[in-house]
Structure 1
Amino acid sequence: MKITLIAGARPNFMKIAPIIHAIQKAADSGANISYRLVHTGQHYDEKMSDTFFQELAIPAPDAHLGGGGGSQAEQTAAIMVAFEKELMANPTDLVLVVGDVTSTMACAIVAKKLNTKVAHVEAGIRSFDLTMPEEINRMVTDSITDYFFTTSVWAGNNLKNSGIADDKIFFVGNVMIDTLLKNESRFLKPSLWEELALSKGDYFVMTLHRPANVDEEQKFKALLHAIITGSNGKPLVFPVHPRTKNIIENVGINLDEIPNLHLTTPMGYLEFNYLVKNAMAVITDSGGITEETTVMGVPCMTLRDNTERPETCEVGTNELVGTNPDKVAPAMKKLFDGRWKVGTIPEKWDGKAAERIVEELLKL
């Protein structure tokens, strides 16, 4: 069986890495399985993509499509045009896509139009918020997918409710957590640890990039003000997404007046997760980070009104704070009062999801 694996943006690499390792292990044991790794180039900043190949021990891609930059439509079109040529030149039995980024949807469409089977890892998750580009990507991808690998029972039920047959859905667990557990002992203390005099459990990690939070200048400034005020002077480490950095510069925020807010460039996987693991809490609007904080037992405040990963709230350490700046202060007070919930780890988030995926692929 020949499989083409698609990776394009930062979250993809943590999901692809354990699948590559599981395929290699199966092939070394005599299984008839091989892969071709295609990097779409959706993230074209080195710290947003290339560094991950080194840190996660992923071989160099067999093809790099150079599909980064431009608007949503331009990026989707560029990836589709390039991947069509790639797939026609290198036919495969199955195209495997992960997550919910533009590359996921674009490559799934191309594969199906070339009559190639598609498998979707992390299928079935839904925010039910059509203002999110990722939700469109999920819905389109799952509407044409052949085999669905899910992270939770909840995701599987979403698929069943949309008419997907049970025998096409495989509850395997979370490949992001495979990567986390494999690399936890390798986390690296970043140089800023000493520079900022950080200490375990005495600082916050922030990530904000979603349009609902950062595109409206006054709302973004109000959110930052609420977070800064609620932090009680503790350091706020903010690795800045390139898109968010541009907005911060445009709104004219004076960092000299906020001594505990520390903007950094995007960080590698091992350094970033060292910070997360040792933080007092994480403030984010990301989805994947809420999964990692749940497994590491770190309190997480999600500045969104919905989540496609409800298990991180139902059994994990995550809480939906919302996008209203007025909601930040009560959440911060709850944390400082020691009233944050103690979470547990969701079913099958045990580091073996990729092995289960490859087992199912071999049966196909």
Structure 2
Amino acid sequence: MTLLNNDVAHTLAEHLRAGTTEMSSTDLRVPISHFVSDERAAQERRLLTELPVIIGHGSEIAAPGSFMTREILGIPLITVRRSDGTVGSYLNICRHRGGRVEDESCGKKRIFTCHYHGWSYSREDGSLRGVPYDDFYTHVDKDRHSLRQVRTEERHGFLFAVLSGGQDWDADEWLGPEVDAQLAPYGLDGAEIFLDESFTLDINWKLVLDGAIDVLHPKFLHPEGVGKLIETNTSVWRQYGRHGQSFSPRTRMGDMARAGEPVDADFRLMGSNLFLYPNSMVISTPDHVEFWTVWPDTTTPHRSTTQIRFLVRPEKRTERIEKRVLRSWEILQDAAVNEDWPMELTIQRNAAAWPHGTYLYGRNEQSCQHLHRQLAADLGD
């Protein structure tokens, strides 16, 4: 844990001794319809295509010339590592008649070719390189028929892209210096994916994010698990523009603080959840970084897909560390799969059954308030 957060540790200790927590100035009420409305869901999906979102990790295309394909919010992408080490993305859509130009999920190629009519494109810039039977067309202007580019930038190992094709954005400005300072100590640009799991859930994407960053439920929903490791209803929230970070004390810090012992920003004493708006989270642990991305479904507000990855730097990957990381995964699975998501599923079903009124986010729920306040601001609520 970086020394930048020692002030947070001291603030947490003061709250633990006083039995208080950091609070916002007001409660927040969110319409229940926001979790079940088709119209609202369409607005949110459109917004997510217009903002920089994380589409992957650089280690997935580590070698020059490598590529990966995936579909995000219904948009098919090819993401490549160019010969000079930079990254780029293109729509995986042939400019002739719309076929996929690459079917493999990953690999290494110089040229992508559509198997429908053989049009081929350069990995380096997406330019149209070959048109079979070119003489039989009236005219194919190769400069106007390149693959459509989706600007992609790599920061701290994460691959950011604006899926709508917008070009006027900068990853450094999007993250800001405070987020940069929090991510830098982890060295994630040199990390590798140790574990990668995806879960499609019949739950609105915002409810999944709410549950993952909520600080009020550990001792109630996880009394025999996470609730024994993390203090309930004591946290500090730091807002970094559109992003933010929730810091929570572990029970060990609680014991030390209430005993009057000094505390600092040690992994063994406190954890943090860095929320990268609109739909990602970076959670710190001693041995790895837990990285979540939650995607709304493309057709219904009642479904989402949660991707959880554990990132580990290769020099730290010993047999002992691997066992500890796998144990962390067991704890997370028990909390999320067996407790968090079943509860959120009941909330989703109840919202569908009675989509009237509002849900209350209290002054002590700053971390959960943040996503809904920011979405409201961006959607003009």
TM class by smaller structure: under 0.3
- Structure with larger RCO (C-alpha < 8 A, sep 6+): 2
| TM-score, normalised via structure 1 length | 0.27
Hey, which of these two has a bigger chunk of strand by percent? Answer: 2
Hey, which of these two has a bigger chunk of helix by percent? Answer: 1
